[in-house]
Amino acid sequence: MKLSVKLSVIVITKNEARNIGACMDSVGFANQWIIVDSGSTDGTVAIARDFGADVLETSDWPGFGPQKNRALAAAEGEWVLSLDADERITPALRDEILRIINAPQHDAYALPRLSSFCGQFIRHSGWYPDHVVRLWRRGCATFSDNLVHERVLVERGTTGRLTNPIIHYSYRDDGDFLRKLEQYSELGARQAYAAGKRGSLRKAFAHSLSAFLRSFVFKRGFLDGRAGLIVALCAAETTYHKYFKLMLLTEAERGHDGDAQVFERNEHTARTERTERTKRTERRSPETE
């Protein structure tokens, strides 16, 4: 089936040379490919350009949501498909997308997503079907401004669901997990702090335990076997580091406030002493004359 309307694919990247080629190959049926890159040094930009993508290079990092809105602003198609570099569109999903946008019944569509962890696809643990809005009529939706865990905000029209999943190679190995843990926990802590939340060691332990139980027990991660246990432990670790970093931000704030209060008290004392010295000097002045 061929497209009767123009479809733009948008992807944000940084050092995704091992992913971007396969990602682009999976969406070769589109009419336009927009890549917004934030300083790759591994050949990502060259691979994308060789494929025929329009590449916008940026020097700053405003967060995932704002960066994806930059890519969205460059899209020209009637429909937009948003992907991450570690995601793939299967032939079955490609055919479903083509059929849907050639005769749409909704203005946006949520797609199921099947994610892998260190080589094993996870079908429980809260990871599947994990419907995410990724396909919409341009002008009907934008991304939230979140630093991390951004979402698509459908502002006009209705939202439907597709059947075939995006394939998501989320964590290829332990090093990949640790890199993302550092990035996501840092951004998550900053985002929570900006929203007025404050942390403590007690909260870090409580939230990490809650994350483990939610993934392994309530979301039936135990049905994924050893991989489900590892996923739950990783969820707990990521959550702990987020709230630990939030605790450090909270303590830094309190320390700063404490220093400010000491400074104000010292300044008040110094002003009082200067005033008293001035008064004593003024009382002595007639005798001196």
Strand 108-111 and strand 54-57: the pairing is unpaired
Q: Does residue 162 contact residue 97 with C-beta atoms inside 8 Å? A: yes
Q: What is the pTM of this model?
A: 0.84
> Phi first, then psi: what are they for 10, rounded to 5°?
-120, 135
238-251 pLDDT, tens per residue?
999 999 999 999 99
pLDDT reported for residue 277: 55
Beta strands in 119-174 (DSSP E): 120-122, 132-137, 141-143, 152-154, 159-161, 166-171
Percent of the chain with pLDDT over 70: 87
- The residue type found at 68 is K
pLDDT reported for residue 289: 37
pLDDT reported for residue 254: 85
Q: What pLDDT band is residue 212 in, cutting at 50, 70 and 90?
A: very high
Could you give the 3-state DSSP secondary structure of residue 76? coil
Task: List beta partners, residue 119.
Answer: none
Percent of the chain with pLDDT over 90: 85
Mean pLDDT, residues 58-87 taken together:
97
Residue with tokens 């309307």: 5
pLDDT reported for residue 11: 98
